[in-house]
Amino acid sequence: MTNVPAIPADRLPALLAAMPKAELHIHIEGSLEPELIFQLAQRNGVVLPYASVEDLRRAYAFTNLQSFLDIYYAGASVLLQAQDFYDMAWAYLQRAAADNVVRTEIFFDPQTHTARGVAMETVIDGLHRACTDARRIGVDAELILCFLRHLSEEEAFETLEQALPFRNRFIGVGLDSSEVGHPPEKFARVFAKCAQQGLHLVAHAGEEGPPAYVWSALDVLKVERIDHGVQSARDPALMKRLAQDRIPLTVCPLSNLKLQVFPELGQHNLRALLDAGLMATVNSDDPAYFGGYMNENFLQTFAATGLDAQHAYRLARNSFEGSFASPGAKRKAIESIDEVFASFA
């Protein structure tokens, strides 16, 4: 579709909800809702330092990335059996389907679990079984293994060794956790080995960290996508590079709001990134902690920043073009976006 049809402003929320979309930045441990945390704690005999669901929710008052990560890792401590990982992923996949997410590339943090004595196989078994079952509800789901950047290169290598027997159950690797002080180049050799394995490469960069981290994610790690990347707007040469090379940025507006990367959603730079020709996408990051899954991210961001149907079309297309789906699946998804937009004209 070269000309996006004019769509009345009052139909925009329904269009945002109905358009098919791909989610490229979701940490499955960040989809663990407080109710499920308590249910799994009881099932596994894990004692939580919170008296109730409400008590836990009250702790979700974050001031920056680290203040969130401390609570996020504590929440994940209830995951012990493959069925726990399945239940967590299945709950997310049902919400994704309800938001018309038809493709999702799910991050998981194995080191958060192996450090507690949970086997790599247990983690991957549960998550992968949920991804397979997701086809029944119309969601094409794949896994991306993330290394925790606050841990050492040696620990990342050990994690890769533990995961390689299950190489056919994940499509790529990423880099997450505390950004500042842990630049991408710390993992140059690990990513080089992952590239040799034919894995897709992505990394969080420019969430809180400087544009220099986005440059090194691209030039040293040789990633195909940048997760977040919103700090790139501080470096005009970087903006040019991202636009020219059509590097997808997996932007997470509600996450950026809750972690105080932007003081208000109305001040988010998503529009500036799109208007500069960057291949930005909208994603939920850790929806159980940041107050919304995919459609909520679209609805609140459009309402706060005044984006329109042209932007919606671009974001929906970018999500599939920036995904690791097959060329045929991308073509089919773009056809279905065009059909939905035509039906709203």
Q: Minimal distance in Å, beta carbon 204 to Zn ion?
A: 6
Q: Is 23 in the site for Zn ion (CB under 5 A)?
A: no
Does the CA dihedral 218-224-226-227 come out positive or negative? negative
Q: Which residues bind ligand ADE (CB under 6 A)?
A: 27, 30, 65, 72, 176-177, 204, 207, 255, 285-286
For the chain, the maximum distance between any two Cα atoms, rounded to a whole number of angstroms, is: 57
| Residue closer to ligand ADE, measured from CB, 218 or 257 | 257
Q: Minimal distance in Å, beta carbon 170 to ligand ADE?
A: 17
| Residue closer to ligand ADE, measured from CB, 169 or 204 | 204
| Residue closer to ligand ADE, measured from CB, 27 or 95 | 27
The closest residue (CB) to ligand ADE is: 176
| Residue closer to ligand ADE, measured from CB, 140 or 286 | 286
Q: Is 285 in the site for Zn ion (CB under 5 A)?
A: yes
Q: Catalytic one among 105, 207, 208, 321? A: 207
Q: Minimal distance in Å, beta carbon 247 to Zn ion?
A: 17
Question: How far apart (Å, rounded) are the C-alpha atoms in residues 224 and 197?
Answer: 15
Contact 80, 44 (CB under 8 A): yes
> Which residues have a Cβ under 8 Å from the Cβ of 237 and sit 6 or more positions away?
none
The pairing of strands 248-251 and 101-108 is: unpaired
> Is 207 designated active site?
yes
Q: Minimal distance in Å, beta carbon 207 to ligand ADE?
A: 5
Question: How far apart (Å, rounded) are the C-alpha atoms in residues 307 and 263?
Answer: 18
Does the CA dihedral 108-109-112-116 come out positive or negative? positive
Note the residue count of the chain.
345
Residues contributing to the site for Zn ion (CB under 5 A): 285
